[in-house]
Structures are given as C-alpha cells and as structure tokens.
A and B are shown apart, each in its own frame.
Chain A
Amino acid sequence: MFQALADPTRRAMVERLSRGPSSVSELAQPLDMTLSAVVQHLAVLETSGLVRSEKVGRVRTCRVERAALQRAGNWIGARRESWERRLDRLGEFLERHEPPTKKRSRP
C-alpha cells in the first residue's frame, strides 16, 4: 500500500478521490500526463486496494476505498499514536503521584 502511495501522482489521485468519486478522464485532467499513464497509476492503486473502479457504459468511475485509506492513515500515524499514548500515560502517572498539597514558601 505504501509503495502505491510513494508516488506523488498517485497521492494526488488519492487526494482527489478522497473528495468524491471521479471518472478516469476527470482524474487525468489536472495531471500533466497521458491517459494511459494515468490508467497505469490507477492500476497500481487498485492493486493496493486503495481505489476501486467500475465501468458503467463507457465511463469508468473511480472511488477511494475508505477502509483501506483509514488503514494507511493508521500505519502512517502509528509512531505518532504510540507517542500520544505515552504522553497520556505520563499525564496519568503525574496525577497518580500528585504530592500532598503543601504550600512551600517561595523566595
């Protein structure tokens, strides 16, 4: 999946699709490349499970696979999440070990 997202064009495509389904030609429009190159990128995204497409009549509509995208987000954020849990545990630790409230005179 991350191999699929390593490419900036494919990231742009996923970002576009995260805003809503799109036809292949709509997807290709802002990209400076041939339609066949776009179709190749799309194939990589489909293989990774991030994107699904279906052909209705002559139009192929692509949509992002939200569950897969969420997994990607989870993986990318794994390190961050583990630190967030740690720092929350630090907060709990500090509360547990609250010293008795004795006011010290300050200089």
Chain B
Amino acid sequence: MSNPATHHTTFVIERSYAAPPARVFAAWAEPKAKAQWFVGPDDWDKSNHELDFRVGGRESVSGGPPGEAVHAYSARYHDIVPNQRIVSSYEMHMDETLSSVSIATVELQPEGAGTRLIYTEQAVYVDGRDGTADRERGTRDLFDKLDAHLRRAGARG
C-alpha cells in the first residue's frame, strides 16, 4: 500500500524587474543581499543561511514554522554566467527525510532598462516514509488541471 512513489514536475515563473540584469544578478550572487530576500520572513532561520556562490559552491538554509518539521534547503551551483544564467540543483529535507531533488535554472534577459527573470524548476518528489512528501508532490498535468480549475473557481492562482 505504501510503495515508494516518485513524482516529476516542472514549473516556470517569470518576473519583470525595473533593475538591470547586473543588479538582479548581484542579488543572487552576494550572500548578504541574497539573505534579505531568499529567506522567508517567518519560517526560516536567517542566521544559518550560507552561500558560496561559485561553480561547485554550496548554499544551505533551514528552518520552519514552530512545531512543524524543519525544512532544509541544500544547493550546489553548476553553471554561472554573470548577469545571464545560474543553474543549481537542490535538495529539500523535511526533518531527516529527503522530500525532493530539483534542478533550478535562473535566466536573466535585458528588458528595456530592466530585467526579465525566468525561473524554471524541474523536480522529482520522493515519497518519504512518513508521508511528508505527499503534501508537495504532484504531476505536471495534475497541477495544470487543478490550476485551471482553481482559476475558473476564482481562487488565487
């Protein structure tokens, strides 16, 4: 009944910023800058954010809402093209259990005086023995269908 399950998903998020690519890139590359926006206001412990921004370098942070599982993010940088592209892979653990492994690609494109940022994540969610991964996993088509449904239902999308 509780056979290990894996689920694959890909999602893309795009944003436009008024700042030029060099400034957007710096916000990813400089540890002090990144800690200010990457780490959530409430549920992560900002003090333990570590970033070694270079190919082969690592990044980690952990935390979580009080009384809930500790979410731990652990990344490694694979490809860095200044002002243009950052490719990393990261693991998420819930307490001691592996929850997902992802490839995260950040692409920066000049857009007028500003920047178009395209974030693409390809993830495999693995079924934790305690079922915690269940909460986050989903297939792409399912997500698309539910997303479409929720939009129709007028929910925040």
B-contacting residues of A (Cβ < 8 Å)? Answer: 1-3, 5-6, 11, 15, 18, 66, 69-70, 72-73, 75-80, 82-95, 97-99
Are A2 and B134 closer than 8 Å at their CB atoms? yes
Q: Mark B2-30, 1 if CB is under 8 A from A, else 0.
A: 00010101010101011100011001000
Contact of B17 among A3, A78, A90 (CB under 8 A): A90
Q: How many B residues face the partner with a CB closer than 8 A? A: 38
| Residues 35-62 (chain B) with a chain A CB within 8 angstroms | 36-38, 40
Give Cα distance in the complex from A88 to B100, angstroms: 23
Whether A77 touches B40, Cβ cut-off 8 Å, given contacts A87-B15, A87-B119, is: no
Contact of B36 among A66, A70, A93, A98 (CB under 8 A): A93
Are A11 and B142 closer than 8 Å at their CB atoms? yes
Q: How far is the CB of A9 from chain B (nearest CB, A)?
A: 13
Are B134 and A3 closer than 8 Å at their CB atoms? yes
Contacts of A87 in B (CB 8 A): 13, 15, 117, 119
Q: How far is the CB of B6 from chain A (nearest CB, A)?
A: 11
Decide if B33 is an interface residue (CB 8 Å cutoff): yes
Are A79 and B121 closer than 8 Å at their CB atoms? yes
Decide if B86 is an interface residue (CB 8 Å cutoff): no
Q: How far is the CB of B61 from chain A (nearest CB, A)?
A: 12
Are B147 and A69 closer than 8 Å at their CB atoms? no
Interface centre among B5, B19, B141 (most CB of A within 10 A): B19
A96 nearest in chain B by CB position: B36
Q: How far is the CB of A73 from chain B (nearest CB, A)?
A: 4
Q: How far is the CB of A45 from chain B (nearest CB, A)?
A: 14
Contacts of B142 in A (CB 8 A): 5, 11, 76
Give Cα distance in the complex from A95 to B115, angstroms: 13
Are A94 and B13 closer than 8 Å at their CB atoms? no
Q: How far is the CB of A51 from chain B (nearest CB, A)?
A: 13
Contacts of A83 in B (CB 8 A): 11, 13, 119, 121
A86 nearest in chain B by CB position: B38
Q: How far is the CB of B64 from chain A (nearest CB, A)?
A: 12
Ordered nearest first, which 9 A-B pairs have the shortest CB separation? A76-B138, A89-B37, A93-B37, A73-B146, A94-B19, A90-B37, A18-B149, A73-B150, A2-B134
